[in-house]
Amino acid sequence: MVAGIYGTALTILSSANPKLAVTFAIPFSLLGLLMVQIYQTINSFWVHRADKALDEGKVRQIRFLNYVPSFIVALVVYGIPAFCLVMFGKTWATAMLDAIPKSLTTALEVVGGLMPALGIAMLLNYLGKKSLNAYFFIGFFLAVYLKLDIMALAIFSATIAFLVFINQTSKTENSNAAPKKKVRRLTLKNRTGETEEVAAAPTGSSATSDVVSASNYKVQLSKSDLVKTWLWEQSDEAAYNYERLQALGLTNMMIYPIKKLYSENRQAEELKKYMVFFNTEPHMVGPIIHGVALSMEEARANGQEVSAEDINGVRTGLMGPAAGIGDTVQQGILFPILASIGATMALEGNYLGPVLFTVLFEVIIYTIGYLMFMYGYKKGKESVITILKNGVINKVTNAFSIVGLMVVGTMAATRVAVDTPLVWRVGKSTMKLQEILNSLAPGLIPLAITLLIWWLVAKKVNPTWIILGIFVIGILFSYLNIFGVVVAK
């Protein structure tokens, strides 16, 4: 985006041949990469300020931290260079690029390649179960050996999760098919205060006797509440960062419904579950996840057996498929078609070309996003009640956790983007450390880094110290030629 906008602006300012725009854009693309690295790295600090604010019960600070610091960083990192480009032209921009040592740019790229490991480790710490952690490694090595993208991995993991779910359900049904024990009758008061007679479940049964119909919830979200939450969701990337990506923005989105559903003394604690690594297509298909999460949050607020882990298991399990569909449709189909129409009109001298493209694109993605958000809430609400009544919440959670862990494994393989350029000579032979590691198993460095940081997070090491460690090690190891940036093939 920086290359396109700056290159176009400079072409117009210099009255150059439009064919030179691409030539002008090349140095600005390098500047753009540096801008992104600075912006997304600095934004990681606001996430930890938000963690501290929630620990202290200061919910209102989340909104401030989501918008104000990241706006100031964007103004400095993106706004000032843009202003200077227009004010001083090509000479200033070229001089600034030349003044940045290439070694420093490379070192910052290494830091950017390491930083996602912290967000992934924190998510693993939230999702991980000893009985399921193996699925993380399965996802990781499927990505490095078979080069499966996140959509293919999501489909594969969903199939495995479905088979596991069916197997667990079959075992439960078989155990329930055993001769029924005589049960005594109990008189219980339900959530509405009415007395009802129910059969006490035999020992070991998963039957749930206190599931409340959604229509009888004491606290419910209105249509207006849902619309307001959807509107807050549109800024989920305001403080986008390398460590936890959309986490702070989505925590900001959930402030309104959490305040409606929970008493003041629970609000900060309930928001903490959203301060984990999360990333999906934000505006078109991704909102369905937030609708489902809201329905589960509503059930949790009404005393149903829905844990924070259940909600995050579902969110993590769905974010890969939603991103795969949303990004493909939006960036691979919708955007190119509408942009081609708008660009053609613009080349013919019609100023409405870019306007038409922008308006149509925004109307389509936000309309679909709104409908998906509401659909996720409606269907999620029905599903939550069903699985609670059937007593299969743990099986469903495990199924989504399998998908989530395998998707996170793929993220560790692709987002922790560092390798080693170390080379040494033995006699007349040249030994490349990365090639040796690849002969053992590809991706060992990203895996080792992720596991190390996961261990530190599990030991409750302050994430701020981990970030500082990533900065120091990333820059130092880059200058020592131990770590390098993975080159896209």
**Closest listed residue to residue 220, CA positions, set 163, 292, 299, 145:** 299
User: CA 286, CA 152: separation in Å to the nearest integer?
Assistant: 17
Q: Is residue 309 part of a domain?
A: yes
Examine the fold and report which residue of 75, 100, 125 is the final residue of a domain before the chain moves on.
100
Same domain, 70 and 165: no
Which has the higher per-residue pLDDT, 33 or 26? Answer: 33
**418 is written with which tokens?**
């560092």
Phi, psi at residue 131, to the nearest 5°? -75, -15
**72 is written with which tokens?**
């100031």
Q: Is the pLDDT of residue 453 over 90?
A: yes
Examine the fold and report which residue of 79, 100, 121 is the final residue of a domain before the chain moves on.
100
Same domain, 92 and 224: no
Mean of the per-residue pLDDT values for the chain?
80
Q: Is residue 299 part of a domain?
A: yes
**Whether 423 contacts 432, CB under 8 Å:** yes
Kindly report, residue by residue over 262-319, the tens digit of the pLDDT. 999 999 999 999 998 888 888 888 898 899 899 889 988 988 888 888 888 888 878 8
User: CA 292, CA 277: separation in Å to the nearest integer?
Assistant: 18
Examine the fold and report which residue of 396, 413, 430 is the final residue of a domain before the chain moves on.
413
Q: Is residue 331 part of a domain?
A: yes
User: CA 470, CA 241: separation in Å to the nearest integer?
Assistant: 15
Same domain, 247 and 363: yes
Same domain, 263 and 408: yes
Q: Is the pLDDT of residue 228 over 90?
A: yes
Same domain, 226 and 298: yes
Q: Is residue 128 part of a domain?
A: no
Q: What is the 3-state secondary structure (H, E, C) of 281-295?
A: CCCCCCHHHHHHHHH
The DSSP result for 283-343, as a single string, is SSSTHHHHHHHHHHHHHHHTT-S--HHHHHHHHHHHHHHHHHHHHHHIIIIIHHHHHHHHH
With 0-12 CB in 10 A as exposed, 13-18 as middle and 19+ as buried, what is 369? buried
Q: Is residue 213 part of a domain?
A: no
Kindly report, residue by residue over 429-442, the tens digit of the pLDDT. 788 888 888 888 88
Q: Is residue 264 part of a domain?
A: yes
User: CA 393, CA 94: separation in Å to the nearest integer?
Assistant: 59
Which has the higher per-residue pLDDT, 422 or 322? Answer: 422
Same domain, 25 and 163: no
Per the structure, the count of domains in the chain is 2
Q: Is residue 248 part of a domain?
A: yes
pLDDT of residue 332: 65
User: CA 93, CA 77: separation in Å to the nearest integer?
Assistant: 13
Kindly report, residue by residue over 57-91, the tens digit of the pLDDT. 999 999 999 999 999 999 998 888 888 877 776 66
Q: Is residue 147 part of a domain?
A: no
Instruction: Specify the residue for token string 């069903």.
Output: 386
pTM: predicted TM-score of the whole model, two decimal places: 0.63
Same domain, 159 and 289: yes
User: CA 258, CA 225: separation in Å to the nearest integer?
Assistant: 11
Same domain, 167 and 245: yes
Same domain, 71 and 157: no
Q: Domain limits at 58? A: 1-100
Same domain, 156 and 51: no
Same domain, 96 and 229: no
From 28-37, 76-85, 199-208, 467-476, the region with the lowest mean pLDDT:
199-208
Same domain, 392 and 243: yes
